[in-house]
């Protein structure tokens, strides 16, 4: 009784709104009826659904589009809260809605009405099919050739191809997806298989529409591409799935199936095999969207690839490699949402390594990796940066996917190692044409290195030929670090050292490659490898390359520029390799590398000096020194030995003067100045050699720096000497007098019989330089 009264109250509440709507379905009455439907519970609406549908069906038949749109709006509200479980009612509404989209004069075309009307109809259709119960859906798909399903799919494909409204095209794609997947809730295997057989007729057309959508340019709204990817993966996972492949799945399954089902399974399996090439073509088009500019497209692609890989590894065997590569590329995506989901999917592939298919999957990945190594140099040379970035991400992803255990085993193959190093050398091809050969006369000051180096962001000796974006170098470096992390560094680097000796024309790229691979390595043999590389670089013929162009030189401009690039790379490489060691082992390496780096700091060529300054700054930071000056001061004894030995062979080591200029310019330490007293003496003696005229300019710079240092030192002493303050004497003149007197005494002929007499006559103090010159006259 209470239930009847409740039913009566609900009916009384609905009746006025339904009566007003059936009389005139204007906006006011539409809003009134929608509000009542919202207030009534879903259970009550299910019982009164036939009554509510009466005014809606009447106005759906009306040709007034405004009234029809209002009726669709109310029907959508009703379907959100109820489902249609009666087949005649469902079919009646379905036919009316589809009929509104048909052009009766030309049934192959969609009716020419407002896009908003088409959108309302498609949205209502989607909701109608989605909310229908499984009994109704079974009857829909049991029709001969699924004629109603097929015709609606056909109408939707026309909308997708010809309409311009973005949301309308998205809803049309969604309609096809719902029609193709709503039957999946059916638990009856017989019905499911029968529906699948009927739907295979529409799969080629559906996949062709998906291909058409994803081939559009990025001007197309991203939501349409996202919907197409979702439709492709849904169709593939439900219809072209492993469950329908018998031969490769379980050869004994055929014996367990009834005869009729066995024949049907064979037919479906044959259909899948026959269309494998077309399916591969479609999947290739889908995976190309990994380069799409909008991140939501790439995110959907990850989900789609993950779904297809979980359902179709046998039925779409030829597409598996491409799908895995897509996940690998997107696991390095710049968008965090895409990267996170792709990494999660790639990690699932790691778990497969421990499964039954371990061997076959690894072999498949190794083969694909080797194929990639062959094609990537050509793609890098001929593609834009987006494609280049994709290929680099793929290479990086393969290394990560192999991991330490598998990647080291892959590189045990000489073919793989040789190909990988060749690829890295080719993509690291360095540009040398922008290197300046102009010599600079300025004196390098270690006190201002840090500011100078940090302001230089565009490193001239690391400009890549095949990349316009500077971020490519960081991407390649991350790949090289992975090679060093997962591979056998000892084996790889000694192989590269052999290439360094044999492939002279690629030495620049090999040098940079070794630096990148070893810079963050920390294996047991790391110190020995660094020491071997350093010894290789510091060989005389390797370290001292010709950089000047003159009449007597056989070096041309291009060779000189290449040599400067090589010098810069070796200088930077030594510093980065030494900095990768612990502090104790760094001290052992400084004995061998600090002086050569100081030579680079003092170079008259800007790029070489810049590389030296960056190197010595890095060594100071990694070694725990306050700054580069502190590094030099604490190693001054060792440096003094180098200067002394090389000054006596200055014709072989002219670069010693470059290093000497840098060190002597450090006037902050009195001890350092005094330690170089003997060195300056050697320089003075060397400067008198008639065969050293070609280094005269460097000699004069050394003298100039030394004079300035002595002058500053003498000024400090004068502040504490009261006597000197009471009797001031121009410091510059005194210093010059002392040096000239010292020079005269050292160069006199000691065999002169009148040596003592001349000495006594010339030891009187000079008041100024002019008096000294007059005495000599």
The whole-number pLDDT of residue 225 equals 96
What's the pLDDT tens digit per position in 115-138? 888 999 999 999 999 988 888 888
- Comparing 721 with 519, the larger pLDDT belongs to 519
The helix (run of H) or strand (run of E) holding residue 507 is helix 507-518
What's the pLDDT tens digit per position in 417-428? 999 999 999 999
- Asked if the model's pLDDT at residue 721 lies above 80, the reply is no
- Asked if the model's pLDDT at residue 367 lies above 70, the reply is yes
Torsion 365-369-372-376 (CA) sign:
positive
- Comparing 290 with 777, the larger pLDDT belongs to 290
The whole-number pLDDT of residue 684 equals 67
Provide the mean pLDDT of the chain.
82
Confidence of residue 254 (pLDDT cuts 50, 70, 90): very low
- Comparing 273 with 356, the larger pLDDT belongs to 273
List the one residue out of 555, 531, 385, 596 whose CA is nearest residue 472.
Answer: 385
Determine what percent of the chain is predicted with pLDDT higher than 70.
Answer: 80
Q: What is the pTM of this model?
A: 0.77
The whole-number pLDDT of residue 643 equals 81
Tell me how far CA of residue 39 lies from CA of 5, 34, 36, 43, 44, in angstroms. Answer: 18, 9, 5, 12, 10
> For the residues 604-626, what does the mean pLDDT come to?
91
The whole-number pLDDT of residue 766 equals 42
> For the residues 254-280, what does the mean pLDDT come to?
73
What's the pLDDT tens digit per position in 152-205? 999 999 999 999 999 999 999 999 999 988 877 766 777 778 888 888 889 999
- Asked if the model's pLDDT at residue 720 lies above 90, the reply is no
Which range is least confidently modeled, 69-73, 145-149, 464-468, 716-720?
716-720
User: Which of 447-461, 582-596, 642-656 holds the top average pLDDT?
Assistant: 582-596
**Which residues are registered as beta bridge partners of 464?**
430
Tell me how far CA of residue 253 lies from CA of 190, 234, 250, 261, 268, in angstroms. Answer: 16, 26, 5, 11, 15
- Asked if the model's pLDDT at residue 702 lies above 90, the reply is no
> For the residues 240-247, what does the mean pLDDT come to?
74
- Asked if the model's pLDDT at residue 33 lies above 60, the reply is yes
199 in helix, strand or coil? helix
Task: Domain ranges for the chain, please list them.
Answer: 357-631
What's the pLDDT tens digit per position in 21-31? 999 889 999 99
> For the residues 5-17, what does the mean pLDDT come to?
85
519 in helix, strand or coil? coil
What's the pLDDT tens digit per position in 741-763? 666 666 664 445 444 544 444 44
The helix (run of H) or strand (run of E) holding residue 72 is helix 65-81
**Which residues are registered as beta bridge partners of 110?**
102
CA dist., res. 264 & res. 270, Å (int):
10
The whole-number pLDDT of residue 440 equals 76
């Amino acid at each position: 009784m209470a239930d009847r009264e409740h039913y009566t109250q609900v009916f009384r509440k609905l009746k006025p709104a339904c009566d007003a709507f059936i009389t005139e379905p204007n906006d006011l009455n539409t809003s009134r009826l929608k509000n009542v439907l919202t207030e009534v519970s879903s259970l009550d609406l299910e019982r009164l659904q036939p009554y509510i549908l009466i005014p809606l069906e009447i106005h759906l038949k009306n040709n007034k589009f405004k009234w029809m749109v209002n009726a669709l709006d109310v029907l959508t509200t009703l379907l959100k809260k109820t489902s249609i479980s009666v087949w005649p009612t469902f079919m009646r509404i379905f036919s009316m809605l589809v009929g509104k989209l048909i052009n009766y004069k030309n049934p192959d075309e969609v009716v020419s009405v407002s896009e908003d009307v088409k959108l309302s109809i498609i949205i209502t259709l989607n909701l109608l099919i989605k909310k229908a119960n499984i009994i109704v859906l079974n009857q829909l798909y049991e029709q001969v050739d699924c004629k109603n399903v097929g015709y609606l799919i056909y109408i939707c494909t026309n909308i997708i191809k010809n309409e311009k409204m973005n949301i309308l095209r998205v809803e049309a794609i969604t309609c096809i997806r719902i029609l193709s997947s709503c039957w999946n809730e059916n638990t009856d295997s017989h019905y499911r298989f029968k529906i699948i057989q009927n739907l295979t007729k529409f799969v080629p057309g559906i996949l062709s529409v998906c291909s058409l959508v994803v081939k559009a340019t990025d001007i197309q709204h991203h939501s349409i591409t996202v919907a197409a990817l979702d439709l492709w993966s849904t169709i593939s996972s439900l219809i072209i799935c492993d469950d329908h492949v018998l031969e490769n799945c379980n050869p004994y399954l055929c014996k367990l199936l009834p005869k009729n089902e066995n024949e049907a399974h064979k037919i479906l399996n044959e259909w899948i095999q026959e269309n494998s090439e077309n399916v591969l073509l479609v999947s290739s088009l889908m995976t190309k969207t990994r380069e799409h500019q909008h991140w939501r497209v790439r995110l959907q692609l990850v989900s789609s690839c993950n779904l297809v890989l979980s359902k179709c590894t046998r039925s779409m065997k030829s597409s598996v490699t491409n799908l895995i590569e897509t996940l690998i590329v997107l696991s390095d995506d710049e968008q965090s949402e895409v990267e996170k989901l792709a990494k999660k999917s790639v990690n699932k592939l790691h778990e497969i390594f421990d499964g039954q298919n371990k061997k076959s999957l690894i072999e498949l990945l190794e083969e694909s990796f080797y194929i990639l190594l062959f094609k990537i140099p050509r793609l890098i040379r001929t593609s834009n940066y987006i494609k280049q970035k994709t290929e680099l991400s793929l290479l990086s992803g393969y290394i990560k996917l192999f991991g330490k255990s598998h990647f080291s085993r892959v590189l045990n193959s000489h073919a793989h190692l040789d190909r990988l190093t060749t690829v890295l050398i080719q993509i690291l091809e360095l540009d040398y044409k922008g290197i300046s050969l102009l010599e600079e006369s300025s004196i390098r000051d270690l006190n201002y290195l840090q500011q100078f180096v940090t302001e230089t962001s565009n490193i001239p000796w690391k400009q890549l030929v095949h990349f316009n974006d500077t971020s490519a170098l960081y991407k390649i470096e991350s790949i090289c670090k992975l090679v060093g992390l997962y591979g056998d560094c000892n084996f790889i680097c000694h192989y590269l050292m052999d290439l360094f000796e044999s492939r002279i024309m690629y030495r620049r790229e090999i040098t940079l490659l070794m630096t990148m691979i070893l810079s963050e390595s920390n294996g047991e043999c790391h110190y020995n490898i660094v020491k071997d590389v350093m010894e290789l670089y510091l060989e005389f013929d390797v370290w001292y390359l010709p950089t000047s162009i003159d009449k007597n030189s056989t070096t041309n401009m291009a060779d000189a520029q290449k040599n400067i690039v090589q010098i810069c790379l070796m200088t930077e490489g030594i510093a980065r390799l030494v900095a990768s060691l612990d502090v104790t082992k760094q001290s052992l390496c400084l004995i061998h590398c600090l002086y050569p780096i100081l030579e680079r700091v003092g170079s008259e060529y800007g790029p070489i000096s810049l590389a030296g300054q960056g190197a010595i700054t890095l060594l100071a930071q990694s070694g725990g020194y306050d700054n580069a000056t502190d590094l030099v001061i604490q190693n001054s004894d060792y440096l003094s030995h180098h200067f002394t030995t090389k000054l006596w062979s200055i014709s072989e080591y002219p670069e010693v003067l470059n290093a000497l200029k840098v060190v002597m310019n450090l006037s902050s330490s009195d001890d350092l100045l005094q330690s170089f007293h003997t060195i300056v003496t050697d320089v003075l003696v060397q400067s008198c050699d008639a065969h050293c005229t070609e280094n005269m300019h460097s000699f004069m710079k050394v003298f100039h720096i030394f004079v300035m240092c002595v002058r500053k030192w003498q000024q400090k002493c004068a502040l504490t000497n009261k006597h000197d303050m009471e009797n001031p004497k121009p410091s510059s003149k005194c210093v010059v007098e002392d040096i000239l007197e010292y020079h005269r005494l050292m160069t006199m002929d000691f065999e002169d019989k009148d040596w003592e007499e001349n000495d006594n006559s010339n030891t009187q103090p000079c008041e100024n330089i002019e008096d000294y010159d007059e005495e000599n006259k």
